[in-house]
Amino acid sequence: MAYLITGVIRRILFLTAACVLSCGVPLFAQTAAQAPPPADYNDPEGYAVLSVLLEHYHSEAENTLQISSLTASGPKPDSFDTCATKLPPEFATAADDYKDKNKQNSRVVKKFNLKFGYKLVDLAKKRQPLAPTNNAKGLPPPLFDHDVYEVSAVGFDASHTHAIAYVSDFCGPDCSSGAYHLLVKEKDGWKEFVSSPVCEWMRSNREALAPRSPSS
């Protein structure tokens, strides 16, 4: 009798373990696949700051400015932590707000106030060039047909008179640059601070790449 009871218990334990392995893993995979999409970035004052900055990036050669559809906090996830130590003390509160608003990427919406046309694009879907061949050694990589600009959510101090924003320019797979911008609000609108931009970076040499034929 005891032997039969032990066998039944073993069978129950085996079936329970099998269910955990066969049912639990797909359930976890399904839950992971249903991660919520990025929230929209809807701050009107943030778009006012970003519009001021993007006005400087636009050139007459570009009919339509291309802006990445997702925000970015910097070239690397921890880039701003290093840069924040170099900011003027009056931007300390705005730096804290910047960190809080850029913990996750947000979806950019069409709320820019620009004097020229623009469109939102998926930077990850820009066509990548073919792998280099033996005949292409030493040549710079091809360029995108148009530069794509990444922007961050904007950090403000409590009085909304100091702001911090990140803007980067991608001209190709290995051609990009960016910086953090410090702005102050004056009577006639947002203006860049005297020491702005800060923590500038550049990948590759844009001047060397310029003569190359672009790739879309």
Return the pLDDT at 24.
47
Tens of pLDDT, residue by residue over 162-203, are 999 999 999 887 788 999 999 999 999 999 999 999 999 988
How far lies 160's CA from each of 24, 58, 73, 103, in Å?
49, 26, 20, 20
15: which 2 tokens? 């079936």
Rounded average pLDDT over 99-126: 93
The per-residue pLDDT for 10 is 55
Confidence of residue 57 (pLDDT cuts 50, 70, 90): confident
pLDDT reported for residue 5 = 44
73-84 pLDDT, tens digit per residue, is 998 888 999 999
Q: Which of 196, 191, 108 is nearest to 149 (CA)?
A: 108
* Separation between Cα atoms, residue 51 and residue 177, nearest integer Å: 18
Q: Where are the domains of the chain?
A: 1-35, 40-125+141-215
What pLDDT, in 10s, does the model give residues 119-166? Answer: 999 988 875 554 555 555 555 566 777 889 999 999 999 999 999 999
Tens digits of residue pLDDT in 5-31: 445 445 545 454 444 444 444 444 444
